[in-house]
Structure 1
Amino acid sequence: MTSNTDNPRSGATLSGDLFIAGDRVGGSSGGTYEHIFPGNGRSNGTIQLAGSEEIDRAVETGRQAQREWMSFTADRRRDLLIDLADAVRDRLSEFSQLNVHDYGVPVSLAINTVLVERFLRHFAGYVDKPHGLSSPVAGSNDIDLIEREPYGVVGVIAPWNGAMVVAAACVVPALTAGNAVVFKPSALAPFAALRFGELCTEVGLPAGLVNVVPARAEGGDALVRHKGVGKIHFTGGGETARKILTAAAQNLTPVVAELGGKSANIVFADADLDAAAQLSAYQGPIVQSGQSCACASRILVQESIYDAFLEKFIGAVEAARIGDPFDPGVVFGPVVSGSDADRILSVIDEAVATRAGKLITGGNRIGGDLAEGYYIEPTVFADVDNRSTLARDETFGPVVSVMSFTDEAEAIRLANDSSYGLNAFVQTTNLTRAHRVSRQLEAGSVWINQISDISPQGPYGGYKQSGFGRTGGIDGLYEFLQVKNIRIAMG
């Protein structure tokens, strides 16, 4: 498969073949998928999809490669991960271009989604650090060892809007812990993930240590139910998570789930209004066209500054440059598919019909030169009822709700009045308030006066229906290690 000639500014070569045991694989049993570039609605080519046959092969080759990986000295494994970080750095432009092809994220933001290098350098340092400890045993001279060991082969399932983020936050610590990975990106966004798998082998990781297998639901089900898989890490929506948990229960396979969000963004009267408006526009409808689990889609504003904030916020939203995602000056691109565009527009129509809030800006599909792509205007509803469907259900598109609150207690109550708990955002210049409020918010991450900025040092994951388990930090590494106790009698 060659690159999309309708996007001449892209120098990336696209290949939709699976990557198993160090080689590209075509003619797969799971059929094929025609990948459509959301910027213009034209084909990027054909994607091979893994069926149970390819999943079996990926798991088996992963088991063999994992044994080889663990036969390497810790120094060698560490150095290979650093080599991989260097290789990713040297191909940053290529990966950014592939991200644009994958789901239409503007190239100006695609660079930010390539976190793999940072995570590789961070976690490579853990390879040769102790993962266990010893403990005295009461009344005995026995040696009691508590060790952490890899699961063997882990399955990592990524959503279409963040395959490389998942590669960074999940695949990298899984390798650090000593596992092999069967990595299943979405068929909607496979290109960057497939190239990453290829690069792993190119730098010297054992062939089959990272297998990349885009698949439909049937292939994903085969991966989750496979007896050779020691653990599953899933990032995506709650409905799919329930199916995965049911399937994994067959073999009692443990699952980590990072799910959706309906994040509150609280703007207090003492906030820097200009900065808060810009941040709220970016973290709300602008970044990835609102197609992010971290989207701050519920904006809570203190009554005394409500009108002033709304004016600045709308100005920031309407100033965002919309267009061809390969244009480095563009910050707002298309949504991922035609069906998603229709779904998002139906959410907007329902919100208008039910008077869930007042439509202030946006609400339409964009025509003109962008008509062939899947572009929806950044959309803002004001005076939204927090009990409405608009405020409670994850839209996963460039649609946000603005509502007012009177005092700190009400802000916390409204923010926590959600079945989700992935992120929360607080805008305030009062340090005491920032500490006090953040400790009362029911969210796995709280961001004070800044955007959601995932780092390898910080654990990331949800409360409530936003999932369980963590990526990032030592907690994220421990997700891919299991504990063993060894006791040695000493007489």
Structure 2
Amino acid sequence: MTGLDMQMYIDGRWRDAASGGRIQVANPARSAEPAGSIPDGTAGDVDLAVAAAKAAQRGWSRLSLTERAAMVADAGARLAAIDPSGPEALTREMGKILAESTMDFQSPPWAWSHYLDNLDELDRILTDSRFDDTGRLEVRRRPVGVVGAIVPWNWPIALLGVKLGPALLAGNTVVAVPSPFASLGVLKAIEAIGAALPPGVVNVVTGAGDRVGAALSAHPDVDMIAFTGGPEAGRAVAQALGSRLRRGVFELGGNDPAVLLDDVVVDDDLIRRLVAAFAVTSGQVCFAVKRLYVHESLLDDVTARLGDALHDIVVGDGLDPDVTMGPLANERQFTRFTGLLAEAESSGAQVKSYGRMRDKAGWEGGYFHLPTLVTGVGARERIVTEEQFGPALPILGFRTEREAVELVNSTPYGLTSSVWTSDPNRGWAMAGEIDAGVTFINKHGMAAFDPGAPFGGVKASGYGREMGMEGLLEFTWTQQISDRQIPG
């Protein structure tokens, strides 16, 4: 093997898979060049990790909230100070530019700050005591126990972080299964995080998702699964949990719309923010703008300005400092994405690419695609109704606000959305008509998020919430303890 060869992390120790097998991790920018290798775990490795988490959970939960918070804060500080080898490993294995990989490693401390800065409020929520002349009533929020965290390849450290921090603060222990396309970065993150926590509190098992993810979901000692990924895998996990009557939080992606009303000011700032919201991580982000609905009076101007802005994007190896967009993460995603574009074009849509290649000679060696606008496309084409997860933006016109709302709500998804207008009252009114877990007004994307607010979807985008106090309470169950004597 060449590249970065890593072990999985169980009970505070680094170890190979019990079978000895390994998975070679490809570099999507240079498909003939391996990024490294990871252990090819099996159900037996999951058993070891769950046993370690279960053994550690009681002692971890008996610590005070202040004690757990101190260790979580230490873990966050260690992660924030990680050396460049962590982000570099993530870029090599999944392709995104190094600045985004660095942000991925910085995301968990940012997400955890909401809890760590509000420990008094959190303590009151976890134990609510009430006294009156009838006696005492306590409503306690107790940890569910062992949490399985299944995370995808696009922002794996951030998406592990929004599960890990609140789960640990609530008193749970965690067994994480990262995608085999992005396990190296997660393991580098665990090098930092694990050093701050007792053995068994956090464990990571690597391997094929249909094997280790399935074993984790079906394990009798796993009390809950927090899952981020595609709908097909999410359904399989939900079915496994349902058969055991266990809980889950599911974020299953989105087909996120942005609506530009007729009064919006079309200027360079608007175009810049729209490009950032759709092109981040080559469009491979659950909450990226994936459908743009523009009032017909603005359609031509917005489309032309977006094309002009996309000319500045440089596509290539994410480790190259001159590159502003990396490749798609793997062959499967590249094939699906390009197939959706070809299907739209064959149906009569105009498919136009922009930007430039950083290295024309090496272009065919990676899963590269230039940023693309799709116009003249029907509202029922798959490039519009499905989550394409790539650097393409279908643009559709509308005449009335009612029509815009109907178009926005016409897909099975409902994760994030945005309304852009010069009149905040119009924006807030339309937001109340949109079926989405999150609706932004005059913003969209990473800069729009508040770690103190709940995040999650409706319809096929999943259920349950992450982030905010609501996200932490997902990892608890409620116990009433009372000696009250209510007069009869």
TM-score by length of 1: 0.92
- What are structure 2's unaligned runs of at least 5 residues? none
Q: Tell me which moved more, 148-157 or 21-30.
A: 21-30
- Paired residue for 1:350? 343
Question: Which one of 63, 77, 102 corresponds to residue 72 of structure 1?
Answer: 63
Match in the other structure for 1:260: 253
User: 1:410-465 CA deviation, whole Å, 9 max, x = no partner?
Assistant: 11111111110001022222111111111111111112222322332121100111
Residue aligning to 1:116: 108
Q: For 1:67, give the aligned amino acid.
A: R
Match of 1:455 among 447, 450, 459: 450
Q: Could you tell me which of 242, 245, 249 is aligned with 1:249?
A: 242
For structure 1, which segment, 127-136 or 69-78, has the greater mean C-alpha deviation from structure 2 after superposition?
Answer: 127-136
Match of 1:472 in 2: 467
Cα deviation code 1:361-385 (max 9, x no counterpart):
3699995333211101212111221
Question: Which string of whole-angstrom CA distances, capped at 9 and with x for unpartnered residues, describes residues 244-299 of structure 1?
Answer: 11111221111110011111111123223222222222222x21111111121111
Give yes or no for contact 2:307–2:354 (8 Å, CA) kept in 1: no
- Correspondence list, 1:159-308, <5 A: 159-203=152-196, 205-216=197-208, 217-273=210-266, 274-284=268-278, 286-308=279-301
Q: Distance in 2 between matches of 1:92 and 1:417?
A: 45
Q: 1:389 to 1:30 in 2, by over 3 A?
A: farther
The aligned residue for residue 49 of structure 2 is 58
Residue 366 (structure 2) aligns with = 373
| Paired residue type of 2:23 | Y
Range with bigger deviation, 154-163 or 323-332: 323-332
- Please say if 1:99 is aligned against 2:99: no
Structure 1 letter corresponding to 2:456 = G
For residues 159 and 20 of structure 2, what CA distance do their matches in structure 1 show?
23
TM-aligned CA distance change 1:45 to 1:113, over 3 Å: closer
Q: Distance in 1 between matches of 2:147 and 2:250?
A: 14
The corresponding residue for 1:18 is 8
**Tell me, which stretches of 5 or more residues in structure 1 are unaligned?**
5-13
Quick one: which amino acid aligns to residue 373 of structure 1? G
Deviations 1:24-59 (A, max 9, x none): 111433842110011111101221122111111101
Q: Deviations over 1:177-206 (max 9, x none)?
A: 110000110010011211222322312x11
Contact 2:97 2:317 in 1 (8 A): yes
Q: For 1:231 and 1:380, how far apart are their aligned partners in 2?
A: 41
Paired with 1:127 and 1:212, the residues of 2 have a C-alpha distance of 27
401-410 or 111-120, which deviates more: 111-120
Q: After TM superposition, give the deviation of residue 481 of structure 1 in Å.
A: 0.8
Determine which of 376, 382, 386 is the counterpart of 2:379.
Answer: 386
Counterpart-to-counterpart distance in 2, 1:224 and 1:194: 21
- Tell me how far 1:323 sits from its aligned partner: 1.9
Verify the 8 A CA contact 1:124 1:176 in the aligned structure 2: no
Paired residue secondary structure (2:274): helix
Measure the CA separation in 2 of the matches of 1:75 and 1:391.
48
Instruction: State how far apart, in whole Å, the 1-side matches of 2:295 and 2:434 are.
Output: 17
Over aligned residue pairs, what C-alpha RMSD do you find?
A: 2.2
Question: What is residue 303 of structure 2 aligned with on the other side?
Answer: 310
Secondary structure in 1 matching 2:34: strand
How much has 1:300 moved relative to structure 2? 0.5
Any conservation in 2 of the 1:18–1:49 contact (CA below 8 Å)?
A: no
What's the CA shift string for 1:115-157, capped at 9, x where partnerless?
A: 01112332234556221313579xx824221110001110010
Which residue does 1:133 correspond to in 2? 128
Match of 1:472, as an amino acid? M
Task: Work out whether residues 315 and 325 of structure 2, in 8 Å CA contact, stay in contact via their aligned partners in 1.
Answer: yes
Residues 236 and 80 of structure 1: CA distance in aligned 2, closer, same or farther (over 3 Å): same
Is residue 34 from structure 1 mapped to residue 24 from structure 2 by the alignment?
yes
SS in structure 2 opposite 1:206? coil
Shift of 1:80: 1.3
State the partner residue of 1:8. none
Residues 30, 215 of structure 1: 8 Å contact kept: no
Q: Which amino acid in the other structure matches residue 62 of structure 1?
A: A
Amino acid across the alignment from 1:235: T
Report the count of equivalent residues.
Answer: 476
Amino acid at match of 1:53: G
Stretch deviating more after TM superposition (416-425 or 360-369): 360-369
Letter in 2 for 1:419: P
Amino acid at match of 2:182: A
Identical-pair percentage: 29
Partner Cα separation in structure 1 for residue 216 and residue 16 of structure 2: 19
Amino acid at match of 2:199: A
Q: Is the 8 A contact 1:103 1:188 kept in 2?
A: yes
Deviation readout 1:48-81 (Å, 9 max, x if unpaired): 1221111111011111222222233332222111
1:481 aligns with 2:476: yes
**How far apart are residue 320 of structure 1 and its match?**
1.1
CA contact (8 A) 2:451 2:468 kept: yes
1:333 aligns with 2:323: no
Q: Is the 8 A contact 2:315 2:369 kept in 1?
A: no
CA separation of 1:310 and 1:208: change in aligned 2, threshold 3 A: same
Say if 2:256 and 2:416, in contact at 8 Å, map to a contact too: yes
Q: What is the distance in 1 between the residues matched to 2:5 and 2:59?
A: 28
Structure 1 residue matching 2:365: 3-state secondary structure: coil
Relative to structure 1, the CA distance from residue 434 to residue 464 in structure 2 (aligned partners, 3 Å threshold; closer, same or farther) is same
Q: Is the 8 A contact 1:345 1:363 kept in 2?
A: no
Q: Distance in 1 between matches of 2:452 and 2:194?
A: 26
